[in-house]
Amino acid sequence: MTSPLPRFDWDIFCCVVDNFGDIGVTWRLARQLEQEGHGAVRLWVDDLASFARICPGLDPALESQWVDGIHIQHWHDTLPADTIPARVVIEAFACELLAPFIERMAEQSPPPCWINLEYLSAESWVEDCHGLASPQRVGSRSLDKYFFFPGFSAKTGGLLCERALQAERDRWQQDEAGLAAYWASLSLPPKQEGELRVSLFTYESEALTSLVESWCQGTTPVTLLLPLGRSLHDVLRGAGLADAIPTARAGDLLHSGNLAIKLLPMTDQADYDRLLWSCDLNLVRGEDSFVRAQWAARPFLWHIYQQEEEAHLIKLEHFLDHYLTDLPAECGQWLRDFDLALNRGEDCRALWAHWPRYSAIWQQHGRSWSQKLQHDGDLVTRLVKFLESRI
């Protein structure tokens, strides 16, 4: 006979989109809430197979299970009969709750606090909408749903960042023996003087082929750490290795000119953080890897998720308005052009040629930027404070 489940403090619902983006954020949120003592967490996920690729301890065949202290519940059209909504219910990224679950929320006294956790944006309107309530009719009752916007200013919800993350990162980046052991675990030698190590986890883009060509033909040795995924074809075509695409496997080490390409398997989030901390430059995508690249305190380029009518480029420009503020104007313009070229699929060879000139400034900026982001607190701290007067 199984033990009854505890009364949960948090229900978090996630529809998996693009395999790893939405679930990456919600999994980090769930673990931080549990690890930092904010109560019992139940995470509802519709696509457990995709989730398992970043959470190796998860069994996609099970309807419910515990992983890292979090209760994982497969989310589909049928609601378990004994489900009692938690004190706080979070819809991640506007996923829609089942009507029976909302009805059970309305039956609670007091009802749960209902949060719509929105996508991250640096657009100015976010500050005006953050924290607003939207009354929802449920039969004869009314429930308030609050909009919670992650963001880059004190008037938003901030960014996910565990309490010990930056101290852990600093210890990692200062431990030369540890870094050598990390590279050895990937079957790579220690980084040589003058060599660049680059991680790349992006969507498809013609810009990648030109960038990879630059690395192959340049005088600087570059080792590219490439998790298997959507960018593989563009990278190998740019390296003149298209013939290797059908047989490419995790663990392969491919060479072209002055470029070495190490193919990596998908991994858990902690190991991905360590990859970002270890590289000189990180090319990232979406939201989760984008935020983690900022905490890595290293130069990064953001391949934002493409939207109709190029709405994504507007969001990119607004972020760059924040990110580039404290940089010298010439370096800032170069970085803006570089990010836009990547996202427009343009030739990046001329832009990459300026790396030696600006890389040291960019490196210093990466560290100061990560410190600036923490000034007003992380997302969980702001969320808990927001809820204090509403529970």
Give the residue numbers marked as catalytic.
22, 287
Query: Given CA atoms 12, 15, 16, 21 in this order, what sign does their dihedral have?
Result: negative
- Please tell me the distance from the alpha carbon of residue 225 to that of residue 370, in angstroms, as a whole number: 23
Query: Given CA atoms 161, 223, 300, 55 in this order, what sign does their dihedral have?
Result: negative
Strands 259-264 and 253-256: antiparallel
Alpha-carbon dihedral angle through residues 270, 273, 279, 283, given to the nearest 10 degrees: 130
Q: What DSSP state is assigned to residue 300?
A: E
**How would you write 211-231 as a 3-class SS string?**
HHHHHHHCCCCEEEEEECCCC
Return the closest-CA partner of residue 157 out of 247, 23, 291. Answer: 291
- The burial class, CB within 10 Å (0-12 / 13-18 / 19+), for 374 is middle
Task: Answer yes or no: are the C-beta atoms of 178 and 213 closer than 8 Å.
Answer: no
- Please tell me the distance from the alpha carbon of residue 203 to that of residue 306, in angstroms, as a whole number: 9
Burial code of 296-324, b = ≥16 C-beta within 10 A, e = fewer?
bbbbbbbbbbeeeeeeebebbebbbeebb
